[in-house]
Amino acid sequence: MTTFRIAPSILSADFARLGEEVRNVVSAGADIIHFDVMDNHYVPNLTIGPLVCQAIRPHVDVPIDVHLMVKPVDRIIPDFAKAGANIITFHPEASEHIDRSLQLIRDHGCKAGLVFNPATPLSYLEHVMDKIDMILIMSVNPGFGGQSFIPQALKKIAEARRLIDESGRDILLEVDGGIKIDNIAAAAAAGADTFVAGSAIFGQPDYKAVIDAMRANLAK
């Protein structure tokens, strides 16, 4: 049986109360904290860095999943590892040397993954599958929370699932962007096992009600 994981994106949290927000969302049932790093260069938005990761680390005992939307990639990796990140993913187009970046993440004791924008082909995986612990399929173009799910992502999730199954490796298949209570089951049916949700969770007063409803739809 598949283990499903809910990964709230703190991009939609109240940054003035971030410690409380991450504690609350973990008590509400979050399995992973999704941490969106944007640099106003690779994507047209600017968010948070290693200092904030380090600040929330003592507040939660679940893995912190750092989604790097930055270019260049490599020089920030050691800082996030030191700040307590457990999983670090990056966009292959943003790295000059994808294999090196993946190895760098692993050498720093973190799990490593690649992120695929709606128009990025999965062929980037071909020669690095042995260094991959997570595949992240973007179901929006990266840069902002609160966008609508792009349905073409379902086909790509299914394709990634097939590659994972063929590899025989233990790789998380995460989907990010526009995930809500009413479309999470479709993403799971396509093969995803880890679900990022920002606005769907932090946009509601009762985080547990949203996470419970998501899990109920995953169990159907």
66 vs 191: CA distance, rounded Å: 22
Q: Is 176 annotated as a binding residue?
A: yes
36 near ligand DX5, judged by CB under 6 A: yes
Residue of 102, 200, 210, 211 that binds ligand DX5 (CB under 6 A): 200
At 44, give phi and psi (nearest 5°). Answer: -85, 55
In whole angstroms, the minimum distance from the beta carbon of 165 to ligand DX5 comes to 25
In whole angstroms, the minimum distance from the beta carbon of 146 to ligand DX5 comes to 5
Specify whether 36 is catalytic. Answer: yes
Pick from ligand DX5, Zn ion, none: which does 131 bind, CB < 5 to 8 A by kind?
none
DSSP 174-215: EEESS--TTTHHHHHHHT--EEEESHHHHTSS-HHHHHHHHH
44 near ligand DX5, judged by CB under 6 A: no
Compute how many residues bind Zn ion; rule: CB under 5 A. 3
Q: Is 36 annotated as a binding residue?
A: yes
Give the range of 51-59, 160-168, 176-184, 207-215 binding ligand DX5 by CB under 6 A. Answer: 176-184
Binding residues for a divalent metal cation: 34, 36, 67, 176
Active site amino acids: 36, 176
